[in-house]
Copies of this chain bind each other. A is one copy, B any other.
Amino acid sequence: MADTPNGSDAAADTREEIMDATYRALCEHGYADLTMQHIADEAGKSTSLLHYHFDTKEDLLVAFIDHLITEFEEVVAPSEENSPADRLREYLDLWEFAPEEDERAALHLALLELRSRGPFNEAYREQLARSDEVLRSTVADIIQNGIEQGVFREVDPAATARLLVATLDGARTRQITLDDPEYTRGVRDQLEEQFVEGLLVDGTDDTTGKGQ
């Protein structure tokens, strides 16, 4: 906000720097071995400054998941220009990453470790549930929109969204844990072929040159 006092601007900048440093520290050290010192080193700041902003490592990681959710929401903000089918394909694209994107694989491995702590940590679990809700509602909205426009068949948007998110999450988990760079791409191609095409009311997809 333009009228935020300078002090708050600086605090927001510092938090942003800490988030970026947390990203790099998680990629490098994973979740289990991560310390506040690692994050401070990446940020080029003292651990006491980190503790001024976040009481504990847990608080910092809860803020980091929140930060990832906010970034995701910015990326998937609906574009009025694209058809529902294209928006669905773009959503599938978001989950795929290339073999050479080592940092992204490392981040998701660290997040997988953190996620496995969910049942034992209420603050993590609440953020993970919010992330799940955002991932599902984003794609449910695209499907709902496609149905309303008459381009998608009448399916249950919420149940279908849950299916899609589970599929993409499972593909990514297998890609990173098995170190199989083609897993997500293979699953994504099948989703496009067997799922997105099946969702389309015949001849309504004006983006692929089919029909009409």
Could you say which of A19-27, A65-73, A172-180 contacts chain B? A172-180
A187, B174: Cβ atoms under 8 Å?
Answer: no
Residues of B within 8 A of A43 (CB): none
A1 within 8 A of B: no
A75 within 8 A of B: no
Number of chain copies forming the complex: 2
A125 within 8 A of B: yes
Residue of B nearest to A161 (CB): B190
B173, A173: Cβ atoms under 8 Å?
Answer: yes
Assembly CA distance A156 to B187 (angstroms) = 12
User: Which parts of A155-184 form the interface with B (CB within 8 Å)?
Assistant: 155-156, 159-160, 162-163, 165-171, 173-174, 176-180, 183
B171, A187: Cβ atoms under 8 Å?
Answer: no
A34 within 8 A of B: no
Q: How large is the interface on A (under 10, 10 to 19, 20 to 34, 35 or more residues)?
A: 35 or more
A190, B173: Cβ atoms under 8 Å?
Answer: no
- A16, chain B: closest CB distance, angstroms: 27
Residue of B nearest to A129 (CB): B178
A194, B162: Cβ atoms under 8 Å?
Answer: no
Which of A32, A116, A129 is packed against the most chain B CB atoms within 10 Å? A116
Residue of B nearest to A160 (CB): B190
A109 within 8 A of B: yes
Binding site for B on A (CB under 8 A): 30, 32, 105, 109-110, 112-113, 115-116, 118-119, 125, 128-129, 132, 155-156, 159-160, 162-163, 165-171, 173-174, 176-180, 183, 186-187, 189-191, 194-195, 198
16 residue pairs A–B, Cβ–Cβ below 8 Å = A115-B173, A119-B179, A125-B179, A132-B174, A159-B186, A160-B194, A162-B190, A163-B191, A166-B171, A166-B174, A169-B170, A169-B174, A170-B173, A173-B173, A194-B198, A198-B198
